[in-house]
Structure 1
């Protein structure tokens, strides 16, 4: 499996395989497990999804760091990938982490679809 390298490519792949709703459901499931108050509507536009996810990750980093770490753990975002990001700019960091979250959730949805 080749993971998408941009948000647009990820959304395009999800739409091509008709898995966009499954991606949203997976996000909602994991955010609920992490006790993070974010629930996407299944018809959310990709631009809104990106913005809301970025904003939530930014707030978690700034205000609730332990919840942020818990979310990354529950979603199973690679610690190595997170550590490789530049942490100097929190806004950029939160955008990059939001994309890592989406990529990991996409992996889960893609594998479940392919092998079930």
Structure 2
């Protein structure tokens, strides 16, 4: 079983559910947001679609109104800077969606590797 990065949020969340790691993904997201002082508390019962929507909205608000906090969050989560630089920032709605996916992808990597190598 090798780590293969999903190409979009829907596939990533499907994979997390299929591997019974969806709850751990939610916990990791909550943990890292709280570490960055951007309190977010996704309930364990949140659906994958709702998680995706709420994360997108949160990123939009951070980019729009709290840019320094947004940058700090990306640093805390450890989203690769080169991937952020490749994004087109001309449309904030699309940018927020792409950043939300990069965050999900990085958090999924953490959860997946911890699960694989903890055994």
Q: TM-score range, shorter-chain basis?
A: over 0.9
Q: 52, 60, 65: which one pairs with 1:63?
A: 65
Q: What TM-score, normalized by structure 1, do the two folds share?
A: 0.98
1:41 maps to what in 2?
43
Q: What TM-score, normalized by structure 2, do the two folds share?
A: 0.96
SS in 1 for 2:83: helix
CA distance, structure 1, for counterparts of residue 20 and residue 82 of structure 2: 30
Question: Gapped runs of 5+ residues in structure 2?
Answer: none
CA distance, structure 1, for counterparts of residue 39 and residue 117 of structure 2: 31
The number of residue pairs the alignment matches comes to 116
Cα drift, residue 34 of structure 1: 0.5
**In the alignment, is residue 90 of structure 1 matched against residue 92 of structure 2?**
yes
Question: Gapped runs of 5+ residues in structure 1?
Answer: none
Q: RCO higher in 1 or 2 (8 Å CA, sep ≥ 6)? A: 2
The superposition leaves residues 40-69 of structure 1 with CA deviations (integer Å, 9 ceiling, x where unpaired) of 001101111011100000000010000000
